[in-house]
Amino acid sequence: MPGFKQVLAVMVFAVLPALTGCATDPTTGDRFFTLSPSWDSDVSLGLEAAPSFRDEFGGPVPDTAIRDYVTEVGMSMVPYLEEGVPSDLPWEFTILNSDVLNAFALPGGQVFITRGLASQLKNEAELAGVLGHEIGHVTARHGNRQMSRAMLMQGGLVAGAIVIGAADEDSVLRRYGQYGLPVAQVGGQLVVLRYGRDAEYQADELGMRYMSRAGYKPSGQRGVMMTLARLSEGGQRPPVWLSTHPYPDDRVARIDNLLNSTFREAEASSANVTRPEVYARRMLRPLAALPPAPPPPVGDETAMLLDAVMWCGICRDDSEPMTLADRWSRRIHAR
Sequence spans of domains, the chain: 2-333
164 pLDDT higher than 80: no
Please work out, in degrees rounded to the nearest 5, the angle formed at the alpha carbon of residue 80 by the alpha carbons of 142 and 204.
Answer: 40
Higher pLDDT, 215 or 12: 215
If we measure between CA atoms, which residue out of 143, 135, 106 comes closest to residue 209? 135
Angle at which helices 142-166 and 2-19 cross, to 10°: 160
Looking at per-residue confidence, does 234 or 94 come out higher?
94
Predicted pLDDT of residue 169: 59
State the pLDDT at residue 234: 61
Mean pLDDT (whole number) for 212-221: 98
Question: Is it the case that residue 210 has pLDDT exceeding 80?
Answer: yes
pLDDT in tens, 84-122: 999 999 999 999 999 988 888 888 999 999 999 999 999
Whether the CB-CB separation of 149 and 33 falls below 8 Å is answered with: yes
Phi, psi of 302 (to 5 degrees): -160, 145
Beta partners for 114? 96
In single-letter form, the type of residue at position 179 comes to Y
